[in-house]
Structure 1
């Protein structure tokens, strides 16, 4: 009876020891398994990307260039012949910088005074301003107050009709300075028909 008890106690003790051994081994395996797991991978750090915007300066708009066809002003900027006193001569207007167009305007404004048209051919200041400026103004433009003749005449025709040299010059300008009235093209028409004294007197300022 005693031996049976002892044997049971011994068997029970062995079972307890085995149980504890199994528990210890299980815990050790669990800890190893935990240690052998690969470390958790940290999420990749976010990389901040900067967007570079290239700033392009706007191109300057080219300014239009002045063209040769721009009409010249009749008088210097800020100057009007209507503000001038009466009694001036062509040379006075020219010295002040007024154009030929402005001189004609002044002449008409003050009643076409003879001091600006000594030969009374209806064309003022023709000996003071350049001949090209005078011709450009009167070419084909109506000239009032003077007997006029048709196109195509020669200097000798005008002379035969009793035209003064000043009227012959006016005729020449009016019809575009034709070469038939200025054969040598020196800008002085009818110089071989009218006397040299008359021609020189006309063109002397």
Structure 2
């Protein structure tokens, strides 16, 4: 009988000791059953952290989609107007120009600044840190090829002037994309366009 009383007292003591233990209360209460508000402040349950291991990526299964402005997947031979029509920025056009060996078709006046007549001048100036197309700014607008030749402008400078002022028809009457061909010698014209 004494053993039975001792066991009852021990069981009662265990119940009293675990009655206010928050860890025991959290594990004994089902998660869907709300716990009644107690007079003692609630103690948050201990937070356990888990390390998330990323899934290994499988490489080489498919080519990723090119990022906006990524011109590496484009074929060679495009013009500035093609890139602009496809929505590529001026910076992307410069990348394409450099990637394909700085083709003359993208820099017809060969001043080292491609696509300056296709993209806004603000974009061109921002990229080149304010560097403008040299050699034509000091000449006023509205000149003809004969005026440039009389001022001693080379054929390359005449082409640069033509590009700078928006390729006016007065400098390319037959509209073939080659300005001043009747004013300058055929040698100068051919050596510029077909080096």
Q: With structure 2 as the length reference, what TM-score do the two structures score?
A: 0.40
Which structure's CA Rg is the greater one?
1
